A and B are shown apart, each in its own frame.
Chain A
Amino acid sequence: MSTFAASFTAKRTSGGSFLIEDLLPEDIFTPEDFTEEQKQIAQTTSQFADEQVLASIHEIEAKNYEVTKRLMREAGDLGLMSVDVPEEYGGLELDKVTSTLIGDRISVSGSFSVTFMAHVGIGMLPVVWYGTSQQKEKYLPRLASGEWIASYALSESSAGSDAMNIKTRATLSPDGRHYILNGEKMWISNAGMASLFTIFAKIDGEKFTAFLIEAGTPGLTVGKEEHKLGIRGSSTCPLILADCYVPVENVLGEVGKGHQIAFNILNVGRYKLAAGAIGASRNALRDAIRYGRERIAFGKPITSFGLVQEKIAESAAGIYAGEAVVYRVVGAIDAGLASVDKSAPDYSMQVQKAIEEFAVECSILKFWGSEMLERVVDHVLQLHGGYGYVEEYPAERAYRDARINRIFEGTNEINRLITTGWMIKRAMQGRLALLPAIKKVMDEVMAGPGERNGFHGTLADERALLANAKKLGLFCAGVASQKFGMELADQQEVMGMLADILAEVLVLDSVVLRTAKMAGRNALGVKLAKYYAARSMRVIVNAAERVIGAVAEGDMLRTQMVILRRLTKYDPINTVALGRDIASAMVEAGRYTIQRSVA
């Protein structure tokens, strides 16, 4: 049996368990656990991104696809696109943390990272997972080298969020050798550069199936480029299929089972998007600090001013939290994969199952990560003042590029609904012991005030906050279920509020565990954790109040509010002082870092 084992493997856990379980620091994967090879791979990726991709940014943004394609080939030469490809097709077959790390470090340009990630993720993975050996042999080497670029075509003008509603039809030809496809696809990334498309259609209007179609196939036309707000260097075109003849050998996976491909691919896309958001945030913060150190106002660099430092600190804390949660989740996926035999015939299915186990976490990463990035690019633009509004500086591009992240890979609204919906579904299926946990908390809080904070040590307060946040999450889920029963899924606003609480619990849990794992060796990490926790609690409390307001009234409301207050009793910390310390470490380093001695 051959598996790639990182030198540290996280504890095997199940999806959604973060709400009901308390792990130990040594149970999770953190950025501090990167192996030597992972660090070197990160370094190669960052250097390539900074020195090659950024150097061509204007060409990329001007939709000069020859330049983008050249960069893709160079990325292929470095092996950056071979990480998820099996060795027998020239791939490196490394772990998901490595693949995620590449997505993180490559993200210095929204346009290029969308091209890259769409190619490596939704472009290539369907072939890796569902391709026949002929299909893999034919396409994977050329895709991994960057010689060919892949594109994934599912969405249509009236089928975005409701992907199952696609209208593109496929009919078997009389001689049984081809499927004839007719329809239109919309918002297709990489379309203007791609050589291979994975296109979804319904055979006879019913059987949802994926097809591999090469560019240039008669009947397949790539429409005009969309002129977008952001990621302008990423190709986005409609596709028109008019009597497009596709050989039956080019069906990907099984007839009628295409939705499996679609859903499984989404999970990967979601955690990769979060990784890209962290990379983009780091990059934007670097630009902001560089600018802020040089920009003088009132005789001082603007990085000396409190309201600027606050933005830097908030951004840094978001990045720290993002790193903690993304690598915790992907590390958990790798832990699930560690015991899978690569030579097993259903290896691909097992991989997908291991990822699907964490579908809730993947959805959280997607909406939380994209919104974290949004806050960062907003701060960064503001920090640049007028220069943030003009094209000579990268701030406005980062701001425009970030916006799409809340829309694609499933809108943030959809992902919030999935987060809450799947937690409940798993509870119903008995996969997640959510109901007993809710009952336990309800009993506990109804019984009266609990014990005081029993935590000691550096992050005692934050660990107490976290414990209460979990209880609060369970409590809110409980009262919302009590109120709405099976109709809860239709109460989208409440579902959304619950999702926000779940997200903050997962992120805060990861932040606390990551920081504890560093065992007091990193004072700056502790500050970032405290700073983030303060914000996290405000989000959780706000969402919980809104849930209670939506589900209760009169005495019930008052009782629930008493419980809320009991569970969120804490003294505010001095975020001003913390923020200044954090900001000065970042400013001194010139970029986001956690490696600084802080007084």
Chain B
Amino acid sequence: MAKTVKKGSTAVLVGTKKGAFLFHSPDRGRWSRIGPYFEGTPVYHVMLDPRDGRTAYAGATSEHWGPTVHRARIGGDFARAKEAPKFPEGANLAVTRIWHIEPGHPDEDGTLYVGVEPAGLFRSDDRGDHWRSFDALNLHPSRGGWRPGNGGLCLHSVLVDPRDARHLLVGISAVGAWETRDAGATWTPENRGVRADFLPEKYPETGQCVHKLAWDAAADGSVFQQNHCGMYYRGAGGGRWTEVSAGLPSTFGFPIAAHPHRRKTAYIVPLVGDFNRVPPKGQLAVWRTGNAGRTWRRLTRGLPGPGAYMGVLREGLAVDRGDPVGVYAGTNTGELYGSRDEGESWRTIAAHLPPILSVSAGEVR
């Protein structure tokens, strides 16, 4: 299946319930497809490493044979990494799904992180061939009280501070956000100000159902959070989260993609609610803020509706690094939409794919 993808192209990598696909374009208008890769196998995340613009990584989760990590030169065939992440012996935990693959700090070539189910974080320093468990988090004394969300007890968000490789922020459903500033030796829950409507105590230390985290482009530690119970923003100093749901049609949604260059700017896809995970009024809409959630703007031109009743899952929204930035949304009904004007207008890139689990984008170098 190996094919050449030209340097300078934009690549959109799509993980689905039945394999992965690569879309590439020289102008973000005309798209070519390669795939499916991993036919029949759920791929919860596949991404292009922005550090070299050439290496793609995928987490495949065979329902029969378990989870595996793979890498490929973009456009080429994927090769299985030597090992998959594993919990330490005696932990009585077994990895069942790979939810997210995150490239390490730009100065740490070959470093990767994965978030898995049941909730766990692992690091590789050799491009995915070997992994070590962050035991201080994975075997945290509070783990006995961790409870899964509807999607399982999964660690799905991994943020590496571009200023400091030792500073990580992760999201676990439904446990909350956790932070380390010493490369994983110690972790603290960081959920102050985040509501948990489904618990008797509305503002517990942990137990929040974080759906996705994304750094603000300001690169000063500011971060967006889409939660089961609202949109939140935490400023550069850390500390409490501020709810920024006002002006949105609901407090519920899954994905969030922060603008790569413009600070305080992010995209989300609100859904009616946890009881009805479809777009409000049957109109698929991406919402954008340019002021850290103080106001939101609804973007629908070219997106389906009325009569559109699909969802976009937590990894289903992505941005590239172009100027103007490209935004991509994949639905759980198998449509991939793209915008090359910062979300102002959208076109269908692909339809009739299997349910889309993840979308990521990058420039091929």
Same assembly: no
Which residues of A does B touch, CB under 8 Å?
Answer: none
